[in-house]
Amino acid sequence: MNNLAKTLLAGSALCALTTAPAMAQNVPAFPVTALHAGHVVNKTKLQVPGRQHLTYTFGVSTYIPAELDKKVKLLDTLYKWTSSLNCPLSEKPKIKKKPIYGKVGFFTETYSEGCSSGPTVYYGNTYKLTNPEGEGKTDSFVSALIGKFQNNGVKYRGKLNLDVSVEIGE
């Protein structure tokens, strides 16, 4: 390859690199925030048109008393997907990994702030100790909150994974 061909290829590559960000700016930034009990714990802006899926993973540690068959709300697991443009079209909580010594479920809390469309629903986990062998040990599970968003006709999907450790009293 001669020097002229190398120069032309380098020039077109440079032109492509400078044009791509400028073209991406035609797509409005879509800010998405993960909230924990009303406080922002992570936020980002989706702007690249090809990136329509977003995944965060947080570790949560909490403590519960060792009371068999008592359902306890784990307040440290209250989360919500939101955006300054709109709230998710839908949110769905899921358990991805079950605990060893107990059962996990969900509860919701509703707050009047957050979404412009109305009250904001936060999703959290409950834990019920079902095996007495768990007393004095640490149990764990993975919970996920999946949100679907739409901005200018483009659909987005966000997944928030919570890796939860539950210290069980004696």
What's the pLDDT tens digit per position in 21-48? 333 444 445 565 666 655 666 666 655 5
The proportion of the chain whose per-residue pLDDT surpasses 70, expressed as a percent, equals 61
Q: In this model, does residue 132 exceed pLDDT 90? A: yes
What ranges do the domains of the chain cover?
Answer: 27-168
Q: Identify residue 163 by its one-letter amino acid code.
A: D
CATH match for 27-168 among 2.60.120, 2.60.40, 1.10.3470, 2.40.50: 2.60.40
**Whole-model pTM over 0.75:** no
Question: Can you spell out the DSSP letters for 90-155?
Answer: EEEEEEEE--SSEEEEEEEEEEEEEETTEEEEEEEEEEEE--GGGTTSEEEEEEEEEEEEEETTEE
More confident residue, 12 or 130: 130
pLDDT band at 1 (very low <50, low <70, confident <90, very high): very low
- The overall average pLDDT reported for the chain is 75
Per DSSP, 89 falls in state S
